[in-house]
Structures are given as C-alpha cells and as structure tokens.
Amino acid sequence: YLKISKLALAFAIIHSKPPGKSCKEYTEHLAKTVSEQDFGWKSKVEALEAEVLRLRRELLLNKICPRFCLENNASAETLLDQECIDPMSYSSQLEDSGCDVSNDYAFDSLGIASDFHQSEHNVNTSKRWLERVPPLNLCCTGKEESLTAPVQFLQHLLEIRKLSERGIFQADFTELENDSFTICNSVSQLLDGLTIFYNSPKFPVSNFLSEAVCVLISLITDSKLSNHVLKKCFKKLEEFKKNLIQIILRNSSVNRFQALHAVSQTLVLLARNNVLRNSLTSLLLSEVRQFAEQLLQAHQIQATYDIIQYENIFLLCTILEQLLQNETEDGNVSSSDYDGEEKIKFLKNLDQIILHLSDEFPLFSLYLWRVSVLLNSSQIQ
C-alpha cells in the first residue's frame, strides 16, 4: 500500500508541475509549503495548549482556596522592576574563571543558595511573598520564558500553603489529588527549564532563575505539598537528578567550575527532602563505584582513562561525603535510608581498589576511603 501511495504521489506531482520547473524543484517547493502549514498549526496548537494549562492552573488554585484568587488579582511589579532595572544586583554573580570556591556555599556564585535562604526569611507576611510572584510578562530570556508560568503557579501554591498554615485562608489541598496533571506538568516544566539552563549556563544568572530554584526547593521541603509532588512527580525528579549528575561528569569546558558547583549545590538542596536524599545517595554511590572500577581496570592494563571524568568525579565524591556527613550528624540514619544493595556493592572490594590505586591516584583513593568511613560509621550507628 505504501509503495502504491508513493507511486501515485509521484505521478500526481509530475502531471501537475508547472512548466519551467523540474520535478525535484517542484517537489521541494511542495514539501516546504506543507511544512510551513504544519508549523503554523503546531504553533497555534501550542498556544492553545498553553492557554488551557493556564486556565487549569487558575481553576485548581480557585478550588484549593477561592479567597486567594480574589485577593491576588494583580501580582506586584517589584520583582519585574528589579529584574529590568538592576539585573546585576547579585554582587556575587561576577564573570570570573570559576576557580574561586573558597566560600562554604559555592552555589553563592550563582546567587541561588543565598537567595534561597533569603526567600525563606521574606515570607514573614503575605504581602512580602506576593511581591516576589513574577507576573507573566516578566522580562526574561528565551530559555526562561517557558519557566515563567509554572514558577508563578507553584509560587501561588506555596503562598496558599503559608497563609493557610497561619489560619488566614481555608485551603483544601486534596484537590491536588483530583488534578494531578496540572501539578505534574508544572513541576516537569520547571525541571526541564532548569536542566536546559544547567546544560549551557549564562553568567551572571538572573534573579528569575534563582527564584525558580527557590520555588523548587520550597516545594519539595514543604511538609504538606511535598507528599503530593513526590507521589506524582517522583520519576521526573529522579530523571532530573540523573541529568544533573551527568552534567557534572561530562562537562569538559575549561571554565566549568562555577557552573559545576552550582549544579552540585542544587543536588545538595534537593537532599533536604529525605526521600530524594536517599535515592540521590544511591545514585552517587553507584556512579562513584562504577568509575572506581573502570579506573582500576584501566590502571591494571595500562590503558587510557577519561581525564575529564576523573577531574569531575571529585565533585560527586564531595556531594556524597556531605550527604553522609549530614546523616551521621543528624543521627537519623537507618539501614533503610538508602539502597542497602548499592551500599554493599560500594564497600565490596573497596579496600583492594584503594590499595591498587593509592600510588597512582592518591587523592581519589583518599576520597574513597573517607566515603567508606562515613558509610561504616552510619552502619555502626
């Protein structure tokens, strides 16, 4: 059937081609015309889908808390003015070599870690929080435009949560169960937008992208909303963590340290949620173990190894060490906190790996040993 259809189309083009044009030229002209029409329809469909999603978000917010929509008719222009007038307001967002990581919060080079802590203090009153809600016409780059709507929706959701906790509003968050599509779509758009940025970061980072990270962390650490988000978006969050880990491992640019520390701090912030922390620990243990085994194999047969990945693996070791250290200090570690199988795989033959690599790769061997000490200490606890 397909062959007959193609043959019929070919005859139709040959018979209908205008004089002075070859069949090839006429076919290319028809293909271009059809593709332009398809593109136009796709644009219209995307615009209509965006409008439907916007209405669904408004409807969901109205179902959760009818009073909120009435009292939040217009978002304040504070953040918009700040973004347009003073986009360089973060003093730490300087273009440099990316090598200065002396600050305990390396992520401050993007202004996001400090902005996250600042945003936590800026919610003393509902008015202050509403001033941080970006309107849909927030001036931002092309990469950020797709983030504007989901960030605004999730900010409104967080604000309702804050106000209901203080008894100002009555809110029914069971509605999130009835409309899982809207919350899933918003979180997915937010994670996809952040992934695009981390793949090709631009400095200085805008206030809006810093705010997007703050919204994500607030969402997954909120005692009531995080359960809904994890239930519906766990796979997407897992994919996001895996993408960030691969961004760290594969980045080969000379001036990559500032961007990689930004990604690492996002992973550390995600670990504020216990469920995400446990799965992140397992992912990191797996990546570090696999690289150690590959490095040992390459060393034994005197083969070449990926020097870029070797340099970047230390960042994963640092994140892993920080997570394990936090668990040990908190004293809330149990055997079920993260994948026991992954822990057993990591510790198996680790002493032999360290012994064989210690002469040629002393620093990496030291990092492996420090991680193993933390794993063993958690087991003793």
Give the pLDDT band of residue 255 (cuts 50, 70, 90).
confident
The verdict on whether omega for the bond into residue 18 sits within 30 degrees of 0, i.e. cis, is no
Quick one: pLDDT at residue 253? 87
Q: pLDDT averaged over the chain? A: 79
> Residue 8's CB: how many other CB atoms inside 10 A?
10
Are 134 and 148 contacting, i.e. CB atoms less than 8 angstroms apart? Answer: yes
Quick one: pLDDT at residue 45? 87
The domain limits of the chain are 147-253, 273-380
What percentage of the chain's residues is helix, strand, coil (to nearest 5)?
Answer: 75, 0, 25
d(CA 213, CA 215): 5
Are 160 and 65 contacting, i.e. CB atoms less than 8 angstroms apart? Answer: yes
Quick one: pLDDT at residue 208? 87
What CA–CA distances, in Å, run from 67 to 51, 71, 73, 130, 166? Answer: 23, 6, 11, 15, 15
**Stated pTM of the model:** 0.73
CA neighbor of 154 nearest in space, from 125, 175, 182: 182
Quick one: pLDDT at residue 88? 38
Mean pLDDT of 319-336: 73
